[in-house]
Structure formats: structure tokens, C-alpha cells
Structure 1
Amino acid sequence: MELRQRALQVLCLADPEQKAADALALQALAATLSIAEPPPAAPAEAGALPGHPERPLLLRHTEVARRSPATAEGRAVLIHAIAHIEFNAINLALDAVWRFDGMPRAYYLDWLRVAAEEAQHFRLLRDHLRLQGHDYGDFPAHQGLWTMCEKTQHDIVARMALVPRTMEARGLDATPQIQRKLRQVGTADALAAADILDTILHDEVGHVAIGNHWYRWLCAQRGLDPEALYAQLVRQYEAPRLKPPFNEAARRSAGFTEAEMLWLQQG
């Protein structure tokens, strides 16, 4: 079995549980898999990438209502939104595996590991939702993460710059704030959700670090200045300019430089 073809097949799966299970199974086989060049052919049918279920209803990010975590339903909506991010993150990692050619074997294994860890996160959150009488798909969601994935599909440098180290890095900043709100609520389900986010935050530092590593590796290979290029790519692809507060400790652990932290703070 060849890794990139199989990653594409898992990316096309619509059933969330099947996608998560197959991402984990694929990662378990990683050491035994060959890595082909050129990349496998994308499926011809429209809308095949990524595979996603009929529910949740997908809206624009401005149309998705926010609710207070002070209520049980508000907490369910919040956890559902994070579960959808993690589901999308499985797709993002699998897309990075199958789409981009000519990278070292370590690159493909890194992103396969990310896909598996995102699958674990999705399962943790879905199980939590089910304990509260809900399930994935019960509330509307948006596709902000995948939109940036589509924008950068022809440029691996832009993909590494703007998906893991921009869009996903926002989670490093947002997660501690969400945890504080949940712990202030103090109910058993809120505290359990905050504990799940501990696991996710720990792993996401590693995912952003992988994005940082391969972005800088690509820049070094091409003789590019990673810090100057990043600002250019943000403008070119209309990536969101991130706003404080920033989780500076997590970002430094993920490999952001002092110059990059200063650039963020200058917003």
C-alpha cells in the first residue's frame, strides 16, 4: 500500500467515524508504506475533496451563531464547533500528504501523524458531545480552515505558512481563554471539556511546530527569507491578521521566533 494514495482515499471519505478510524489505522502502518511520486490523481467528481457528511449544515463563518458556555446548550455548541475544527484538521493534514510532491519522507510521516492525532481529538470531542445528548452534525458549522487550504493548493510554501502556522496557530491563543470560561462555569461537563482541551492544546503545539519546521525548510531550500515572505503571503492570500492576546509560551514552544512574535504584537 502506498501512503499518498491511501491518504487521498481517506480524505475522500464522508463518514466522520470512518475517516477518523482510517486515519489512525494508516498512521499505525506508516513505517511499512512506500511514498510515490508523482502525487496520486484527484478524483474527477465535483465536491469530492474533502469528503464530509451531509450534516452539519455548512454556513459562512459570519452566519454561525455564538452562544454563551454558561448554558448546557451553549457548551454543546462550543464543543461542536471545536469538533468541526478537528474534523477539518484531519482533512488538512491528509491533503498535505497527498497533494505536494518531492518532499522528504519525514514530511509525509509528520503530516500523517498530525492527521491521526486530529482524529483522536475529534473522537474525544464527539464522545463528549454524545454524553451530553448531542452529536457531531447537530449544529451548523463553517469551513474557514478548508477555505485557506483551497487557496493554497498550488503552493506548498503558502500552505505551510498560512494553514498550520496561521489558521491552526490561532487555536494556541484561543484554547486557554475557552478553558478559563469553562472552568468558571464549573459544572462536571464543563470541567471535562476543559480537560479534553488540555490534551488538544498539548498536541497542537506540536502540529504548529511541524508547520514551522517545513515552512522554514522550504524557505531555506529556495533561498527565501521566511519572515519577510510570511508578511507577503498574508497579504497575497488575504489571511486573517491575528489579534492579541497571544499564547506566547505555546507559540515559542511551537518554534515562533522573537521577531515573529514582535510582528504579531505590532498587528
Structure 2
Amino acid sequence: MKKEFFNTLEKILYNQNLNQKINDFYNFYDDFKSKKIIFDHSNISVLKECNYEKVKFIHPTRIRRPKFTKNIKSLAQIIHSIAHIEFSAINLALDSAYRFKNLPLNFYQDWLEVADEEIKHFQFLNQALEQLGYKYGDFFVHDNLDLALKLTKDSLASRMGVVHRGLEAKGLDANPFVLKKIQTSDNEIKSFLEEILHIILKDEITHVSKGDFWWKFSKDKKENFLSLCKEFKTFSLAGKQLNFEARIQAGFDPLELQEIDKFYNN
């Protein structure tokens, strides 16, 4: 008997057991790729908390981000913050595939593929944490990405623009700076972390390009990205220094990037 896409995905999305969530996703994704899934687009989406039960939340302004990686704890904190972003990105990709109906099959294929890669990123980072004697959930995190999920739940264009073309592209901006910070460490795990960050950058360019495609697919023709930045002032959709090269690879226009940079950084 074939599984129904949205009902099955809802159970995975809201599963609070991390290992079970990942295992169930892999089984579901295998069935999807083997065309053992049926779609019922009349399925009504719900909105519940989808955070891993062991994570402790505090306000973003209360989170201390180490500037250096001289000791194991500081290095672990940096890795943990990236791991939380990747875990949140799993839920965001799954939610996009679950929440929006009556779209081309390629849409669902894209976001399941993104979720699959985000899981791999998360597992790499969790492996690094364990090598340092820590695990995911050992440090406080913020819920900005969950807030973005909730605020864009009713609009495909907003979800694609704010989350997958905006906040994920901000990760492209941050990647080189995190890499430099990691390179100041003398821990034996450094080379493994450098490899992880290179993998994440490469994959995230493709994720942002998917967000770029589906944002352009769903948005009003008159809408531009700067108008989205102004509408969603709750979030900054660009870093302090744009990664022009990576953003252009992901679908941004050079003139558009100059406008975004001016809007946020001047």
C-alpha cells in the first residue's frame, strides 16, 4: 500500500524523537524516489511545534557567540550554533514540502532533497560535537528560524523569499567568517570542520538557488527582493558582508546585490 505524501510528512515533521525523525525521513524519501507515494492535495496542513525536545531556547540577544576557538568549549559552542541552524533548516525544508499544495512534482522533490542534505550537515556537526565531548542540546539556542517558518506559513512567495532565498543566503555570507574562526583553532578536529564547512557552502548554494527559482515562480511580477526585505524587517536577510560570488551562483543579480548591501549595511 502506498503512503500518502502529506500525512506521512506531517508525522515526520512533528516527531520529537530526533533519531526516529531521521530514520522515518530516510524511509519516506526512499519511497518517494521509488514512486511509492501518492498525493492528496486536499490534505489540510497544521502548525505545531517541531523542535527537538532537548533544545533549550533563550532570546537571541542573550546568546554569547565566542570570537575565538582557543578552548574546546568555545569551539563546541560555535559548532553547536551551526548545528542548530542546520537542524532548523531540516524542519524548514520539510515544512515547505508539507505546507504548500498543488505545485509541480519538482517542488516537492527539491525540498526533500534539501532536507536530506541538511540532515547530513547536521549529522556531520553532531559527530564533531561528540568528538569534543558534547552533543546537540548542550547549549542554548534561539528560535528565529521557527519564527520565520510561522510568519511565512500562508504565502509560498514569502516562504521562498524570506527563508530559502533570504535567511539561507545569509548563511552563505557567514560561511567564510566561520571558516576563518575555525582555522584559529589548534584542535585536531579542525581539518574535519573545514571539510564540513566546504560541503555546507557548496550544498547551500544549491539550496538558495532552489529558493530563488521557486520565489521567482510564485511571486508577483512587480515584487522585488528589496520589497521583501522591507516587509519582513523582523529579520535581516543579508550578512554584514555579502558573499557576492556564492550569491551570484545561487541566482542573485549583481545590481540586486548592491541594493541589498546598501539597504542593510549603509
Find runs of 4+ consecutive structure 1 residues off by over 3 angstroms: none
- Shift, 1:129, TM fit: 0.7
Q: 1:253–1:24: structure 2 CA closer, same or farther, 3 Å change rule? A: farther
Residue from 215, 232, 241 that aligns with 2:227: 232
For 1:234 and 1:265, locate their aligned partners in 2 and report how far apart those are by CA, in whole Å: 11
Any idea what SS the aligned residue of 2:213 has? helix
- Shift, 1:241, TM fit: 5.0
The correspondence of residues 1-267 of structure 1 with structure 2, limited to 5 A, is 1-31=3-33, 32=35, 33-42=37-46, 48-53=48-53, 55-67=54-66, 68-219=68-219, 222=220, 224-227=221-224, 230-238=225-233, 239-267=235-263
Q: 1:144–1:256: structure 2 CA closer, same or farther, 3 Å change rule? A: same
For 2:193 and 2:143, locate their aligned partners in 1 and report how far apart those are by CA, in whole Å: 23
Preserved CA contact (<8 Å) 1:172 1:204: yes
Output the TM-score relative to the length of structure 2.
0.91
Residue-by-residue CA offset, 1:66-122 (whole Å, 9 max, x unaligned): 223222100101101111111111100111011112211110111111111111111
- Shift, 1:237, TM fit: 2.4
For 1:256 and 1:121, locate their aligned partners in 2 and report how far apart those are by CA, in whole Å: 24
Q: CA RMSD in A?
A: 1.6
Residue-by-residue CA offset, 1:232-256 (whole Å, 9 max, x unaligned): 2222222315243111111111111
Residue-by-residue CA offset, 1:38-87 (whole Å, 9 max, x unaligned): 234427xxxx331421x221111111112232221001011011111111
For 2:165 and 2:158, locate their aligned partners in 1 and report how far apart those are by CA, in whole Å: 10
Preserved CA contact (<8 Å) 1:39 1:100: no
Any idea what SS the aligned residue of 2:46 has? coil
Any idea what SS the aligned residue of 1:129 has? helix
Q: Structure 2 stretches of 5 or more lacking a match? A: none
Preserved CA contact (<8 Å) 2:174 2:239: no
2:179 is matched by which residue type in structure 1?
Q
For 1:74 and 1:138, locate their aligned partners in 2 and report how far apart those are by CA, in whole Å: 12
Identical positions, percent: 30
For 1:151 and 1:225, locate their aligned partners in 2 and report how far apart those are by CA, in whole Å: 22
For 1:241 and 1:253, locate their aligned partners in 2 and report how far apart those are by CA, in whole Å: 17
Residue-by-residue CA offset, 1:129-188 (whole Å, 9 max, x unaligned): 111111111111111111111111111111111001111111101111111121232421
- Shift, 1:190, TM fit: 2.4
Any idea what SS the aligned residue of 2:38 has? coil
Output the TM-score relative to the length of structure 1.
0.91
Any idea what SS the aligned residue of 2:135 has? coil
Preserved CA contact (<8 Å) 2:45 2:99: no
Q: Structure 1 stretches of 5 or more lacking a match? A: none
When the two structures are aligned, how many residues end up with a matched partner? 257
